[in-house]
Amino acid sequence: MIQAFGRVYRFILIVILLIAGVSMERAGLIEYLSDPYELQYTVGLIGQHIWMVAISMAMATILGIGVGIIFTRPGFKRYAGFIMYVVGLGQTVPSLAVIALAMGVLGIGFKAAVFALFVYSVLPIARNTLAGITAVSPWIIDAARGMGMSNARILFQVEIPNAMSVILTGFRVSLVINIGTAALAFLIGAGGLGEHIFVGIDLIRSDKLLAGAVPTMLLALFADYLCELLGFVIIPKGLRLQREISS
C-alpha cells in the first residue's frame, strides 16, 4: 500500500514540476535567471534562507526534544499540559506578528528573524516528542526494567527509538513550516528568498516573484524528502516493517 502510494506521489510530483517548468518559462523566470548577476544574487539569497532555517531549526530541535523528554519523566508529567501550552503560545500568534515582536526585542536583522523562526518551530517537535514517548507501551518499559536496565538506558535505548517515528514527524512538519515562514524575514531586514517575493509583488514583476517563490517551494519539497530518507536511518527497521504491515 505504501509503495503504491509512493509511486502515485512521485508521478504527481513529476507532473507538477513539468507544469511549473512551462509556467516559469512563460513568466520569464528562465530568462531572468539566465542573467549571471541575477543568478548569483538568487543563489546568495538561497544561502541566507537556508542558514536562517538551519540555525533556528537546530535551536528548536534541541529545546523541543529536551522539553518533550523532561516532561515525560515521572516527577514532571503533571506539568506537561501547562508547559505544552506555554511552548505553543508561539504558534497561536500569526507568524508575521511573532516576527514583529522579535524585531521589537532584538531589533532589525538576522538575530530577530532566527529567534522568531525558533519560537514558531518549537511546538511540533516538543509535542510529538512528548506524545511519542508517552505512547510507548508500558509492558516494553517493564520488560526493559526487568532486564536490569537503568532509567537512562531505558530512555535512550527503548523509549526514544520507539518514539522516533512520531518525533521525526514533528520535526518534518516544523521544518516545512520554518522554510515557508522564513520568507517573511525579509520584512525585518534579514534577507532570504522573501526579498525576491516581496520586491516582485511591489514592482508587479512575476519573474522576480517566482525567483523567490519557486526556490522556496523546492526547498520545502527537498527538505520533506530528506526527512523521509532520514527516517530510514534513525527509525529502527523493525518499527518501519511493523508500520508498513499495519498500513
Segment 173-194 mean pLDDT: 88
What's the pLDDT at 24? Answer: 63
Residue 239 has pLDDT above 70, yes or no: no
Segment 158-173 mean pLDDT: 90
What's the pLDDT at 243? Answer: 58
pLDDT confidence bin for 172, thresholds 50/70/90: very high
Supply the pTM of this predicted model.
0.83
CATH of the domain at 22: 1.10.3720.10
What's the pLDDT at 240? Answer: 58
What's the pLDDT at 53? Answer: 94
What is the domain range of residue 60? Answer: 2-246
pLDDT confidence bin for 34, thresholds 50/70/90: confident
pLDDT confidence bin for 26, thresholds 50/70/90: low
The 10s digit of each residue's pLDDT in 184-214 is 888 888 888 888 888 888 888 888 888 888 8
pLDDT confidence bin for 9, thresholds 50/70/90: low
User: How many structural domains is the chain composed of?
Assistant: 1
Residue 245 has pLDDT above 60, yes or no: no
Percent of the chain with pLDDT over 70: 83
**Range scoring the smallest mean pLDDT among 28-37, 133-142, 226-235:** 28-37
DSSP collapsed to 3 states, the chain: CHHHHHHHHHHHHHHHHHHHHHHHHHHCHHHHHCCHHHHHHHHHHHHHHHHHHHHHHHHHHHHHHHHHHHCCCCCCHHHHHHHHHHHCHHHHCCHHHHHHHHHHHHCCCHHHHHHHHHHHHHHHHHHHHHHHHHCCCHHHHHHHHHCCCCHHHHHHHHHHHHHHHHHHHHHHHHHHHHHHHHHHHHHHCCCCCHHHHHHHHHHCCHHHHHHHHHHHHHHHHHHHHHHHHHHHHHCCHHHHHHHHHHC
The 10s digit of each residue's pLDDT in 67-124 is 889 888 887 778 878 877 777 766 677 777 778 888 888 888 888 889 989 988 888 8
Higher pLDDT, 118 or 28: 118
* Average pLDDT value over all residues in the chain: 82
Higher pLDDT, 66 or 82: 66
What's the pLDDT at 63? Answer: 92
Residue 60 has pLDDT above 90, yes or no: yes
